[in-house]
A and B are shown apart, each in its own frame.
Chain A
Amino acid sequence: MTASATSPGAHAPASRRLRLPFSAWSMAAVVTALVLALPVLVIFGHVFIPAGEVWEHLRQTVLADYVTNSLVLLVGVGIGVLLIGVPVAWLVSMCEFPGRSVFQWALMLPLAMPAYIIAYTYTGILDFSGPVQGLIRELTGLGYGEYWFPEIRSLGGAMVMLLLVLYPYVYLLSRAAFLEQSVCVLEVSRTLGAGPWEGFRRVALPLARPAIIAGLTLALMEVLADYGTVAYFGVSTFTTGVFRTWYGLGDPAAAAQLSAVLLSFVFVLILLERWSRAKARFHHTSRRYSTLPRYRLRGWKAAGAFFACLLPILLGFLIPTLQLGIWAVQTTDQWMNPRFAGLVFNTFWLAIAAAIIAVGLALVLAYAQRMEGGRVTRVAVRIAGMGYAVPGTVIAIGIMIPFAAFDNALDAFMRDTFGVSTGLLLSGTVFALLFAYAVRFLAVSLQTVEAGLGKIQPSMDDAARSLGLHPLKTLWQVHMPIMRGTLLTALLLVFVDVLKELPATLILRPFDFNTLAVRAFELAGDERLPESSSAALAIVLVGLVPVILLSMTIGRSRPGQGAGQEDATDEDPGRRPRSRPLAVPAGTAVNPSADDPQDR
């Protein structure tokens, strides 16, 4: 790799002996990244198929609508998730107020709520026929059109629904960042006279920026991929346009081209972020931790913090869950049977397997880039990561095409040479499904893992390696323990995403293979909301278990607290960098390390 050859010596292999596994490692990364990028490349490939005058028709009629609505939705949800996610993350990480210990995990709960389910549920509650407006009419005696009430099925409504379920991405990642920040940095800022607000704005926020941006990017990509919510609300976005062009106009090529335009949105988004960050890198230069007392809030400040944390949980989780619960009680026949238990079990294992695979792949790719940022790997990883912003059905087609082509080619070859038919080996198997999840959620695991890995300064690698530790062992014994919180966050995010995943599952699954999301959507899509509630509720409950478990672990993962302390006495030499801080002044942490050779 040319990148490693020209980079400063510190990042070249420490000794000759290590060179061979090193390139094997990077080869594996290149191949993995390319295979994962395949589905997105297939979609991009459609750009070269002439789509006739469909584009002219779109441009003259609906394209402007698609662009405006998608942009407004992006900006609205983007601002919303930042305004909710970052402040509450700071509050529960750095301040002490009543309920904090519950809030720190409860704030993640809306994550388990699929966007289309919350949209259906709130429509049931808030639209004209719902209980809220019914009560208003009963109390005031007014009829339709005689009083003002916000229209839930609108662009604004879609915005609120999406930001309520997507803010946890920003919350989770920025909280993990705040927790992993060296307390020394904050202490120094305090000794330099910075108050809590100043410390947040000038020290903690810039340090957490990559993590916050990573969370924001995930949320926005999910906005672009969302179909269920906007379709039900009758808001024409790029995504609804993709399906209209494909299903309605019967032009899959033009639909794929629209998806490619959608992808360029994401590309611009990523470029903008990278450009604005320029060459700044924020590594932790100190692993010395001490418990920093949280700011104790009292009086109205405590009350303010309490309600700021309560509101998103109330709107994004408690109210919709309560409504789903009421419906589930009314429809016991839907879930009081052994089949439903099988459905839960199936979904659970699928999500666990997918989460482990996606995070494992992300770790391999991110670490390969850290060691020697080969350009092919870098570009392929970026392309693969875009799969998250593509509507699930489209990415599923991008997976189906190469898989089926491979199966059929192999089958034809075997028939011709051996007279044996191998049939479809990959298509329509759980393997294809797991591959789809890996592609679709690579962005989630990768963004999270990269944000965590990026905070570990490269000198840590150098130290470990100069002490004779193999790169893989460095990853295993040095990096992974440090980023335990980050890894668990990534696992949780993918797990919950797979629980909710619908379109790719629907189209790629084997025969007689159901998940909770499939069940919930089939019923909700047929406007049978009460019947769908038990499956939706089960998604939320299954998602709840790891949310709580992992939240407890992430809370403990702050070095210098709880379980983290035990590691310091561990005799394993690989852990030493943790307990033996490197002598770099803490104050330099916020300086952009422009000399970092791993420009990404």
Chain B
Amino acid sequence: MRALLPRPLIWTLAAMAATTASLPLTGCSPGAETEEVNLYSARQENLIAPLLEQFTDETGIEVNLVTGSADALLQRLRQEGRNSPADVFITVDAGRLHQAHAAGVLQAIESETLEDNIPERYRDPDGEWFGLSMRARPIMYHRDRVDPAELSTYEALTDEQWEGRICIRSSDNVYNQSLVASMIASEGADAAQAWVDGLVPNLARRPQGGDRDQIRALADGVCDVAVANTYYLGLMLEGDGRDRDVAEQIGVFWPNQDDRGTHVNVSGAGVTAHAPNRDNAIRLIEYLSSAEAQEWYAEANQEYPIRDDVPTSEILADLGDFISDDIDLYVLGKNNAEAVRIMDRGGWR
């Protein structure tokens, strides 16, 4: 041995081995004594961790968490197959939940609690996934430069009067994809194409940044109307300093109140097909639909609670009531690819 490997090299290898071994090799040890539940979450850690800690305090069940993009986590679930340690899969849009359902990585759950807590249209008819919080994507406008009477529907944004006055983020974003997918569902693909074709020339600038950036651009005078999710505005209003100054100049208009309603989407969860801790998984989802957790969603993240008996936050309540588009949300997942093609063809970057 000594002839083959110089001693310092052996030391280096030993050090490498020791360093590697000192790192935690697995986050969880399956079959351990403690009760646990393993979570793959497309919702960011800081937007869910407080709820999970609360769940552990109340039930004694440890929650192990991996966050990431929904598509990548879905791929991980599929590759891991029946040996996957994951019990619960959480996404922030219904389309991804539908795709998980279609890929066969979820299982149907029967839970009276969930059926009581969650209105029918916010959960999968087969019981494979359940909506947990809701967000709307209305039209926002600058109070000084736009009279809300000028606004009516998403479709009307293609009118000539809005030329060069609209801000919206890139079509890479799933919220825009879902918006177009909802249009395909209710008005048909041709109408959706006509909308995209008409919207693009009206944009004030090449799509860029996130939803908050569109709201800021309104305040800066880059554009007069924008399309963005409600919780971004809510969080800006709740914050302090510049963002609140910006948000206070912004009005919210609920489009399509006379026909299909304003586009909404849900975040939600499902129990995985091979969940090793199936009962704990159901308990976790039930907890996330509880009044207590729903209040937290409303207050901490400015989302609409999924249950009718939990009030929205004061900030959201100030934005007013609205009629939401009540198509079955799984349709958003089904139409997603078609929506992207339409946006590609329309030149929406």
Q: In the complex, what residues of A have CB within 8 A of residue B177's CB?
A: 248
- Bitwise, B327-348 to A at CB < 8 A (1) or not (0) is 0000000001101110011000
**B341's closest neighbor in chain A, by CB?**
A57
Residues of chain A contacted by B210 (CB below 8 angstroms): 232, 526-527
Task: For the complex, give the distance between the alpha carbons of A234 and B296 in Å.
Answer: 33
**Chain A interface, number of residues (Cβ within 8 angstroms):** 77
Bitwise, B1-38 to A at CB < 8 A (1) or not (0) is 00111101100100110011011111110100000001
Q: Which residues on the B side are within 8 Å of A431 (C-beta)?
A: 20, 25
Q: Does A10 lie at the interface of the complex (its beta carbon under 8 Å from any beta carbon of B)?
A: no
A356 in contact with B16 (CB, 8 Å): yes
Inter-chain CA distance A123–B66, complex, in Å, is 30
Q: B12: which A residues are within 8 A, CB to CB?
A: 356, 360
**Cβ-based interface call for B81 (8 A):** yes
Q: Which one of B6, B81, B336 contacts A408 once the chains associate, using CB atoms below 8 Å?
A: B81
| B188, CB-defined interface residue at 8 Å | no
Q: Which of A127, A397, A430, A523 makes the CB contact (< 8 A) with B24?
A: A430
A167 within 8 A of B: no
From 18 to 76 in chain B, residues with beta carbon under 8 angstroms from any chain A beta carbon are: 19-20, 22-28, 30, 38, 44-47, 64-69, 71-73, 75-76
Partner of B3, one of A129, A424, A470, A514: A470
A62 within 8 A of B: yes
A477 near B85: Cβ-Cβ < 8 Å: no
Instruction: List the B side residues contacting A525 at CB < 8 Å.
Output: 44
Task: Name which residue of chain A comes closest to B217, CB basis.
Answer: A128
- B6 and A434 contact, CB distance less than 8 A: no
Verify A252–B75 contact, CB threshold 8 A.
yes
**Given known contacts A61-B344, A476-B8, A514-B45, A411 and B83 CB-to-CB distance under 8 angstroms:** yes
Nearest CB on A from B302, distance (A): 13
Measured in the bound complex, the distance between the Cα atoms of B340 and A357 in whole Å is 41
- A117 to chain B: closest CB distance in Å? 15
Choose one: A233, A248, A249, A404; the contact of B81 (CB below 8 Å): A404
- A60, closest chain B residue (CB): B345
In the assembled complex, A472 has its CB within 8 A of some CB on chain B:
yes
A427's partner among B8, B27, B79, B99 (CB-CB below 8 A) is B79
Residues of A at under 8 Å CB distance from B?
Answer: 21, 57-58, 60-62, 65, 123, 127-129, 143-145, 153-154, 231-234, 236, 240, 243-244, 246-252, 349-350, 352-353, 356-357, 360, 393, 396-397, 400-401, 404-405, 407-408, 411, 421, 423-424, 427-431, 434, 470, 472-473, 476-477, 503, 506-507, 509-514, 518, 522-523, 525-527
B residues engaging A (CB < 8 A)?
3-6, 8-9, 12, 15-16, 19-20, 22-28, 30, 38, 44-47, 64-69, 71-73, 75-76, 79-85, 99, 169-172, 174, 177, 206-213, 216-217, 219-222, 232, 242, 246, 336-337, 339-341, 344-345, 349
Sampled A-B contacts (7; CB under 8 Å): A61-B345, A234-B349, A349-B19, A357-B16, A431-B25, A470-B3, A526-B47
Q: A424-B83, A512-B66 are in contact. List 17 more A-B contacts (CB 8 A).
A: A62-B344, A65-B349, A128-B222, A234-B169, A356-B16, A357-B16, A393-B69, A393-B72, A396-B72, A408-B81, A408-B83, A423-B83, A430-B20, A470-B3, A476-B9, A510-B28, A518-B67
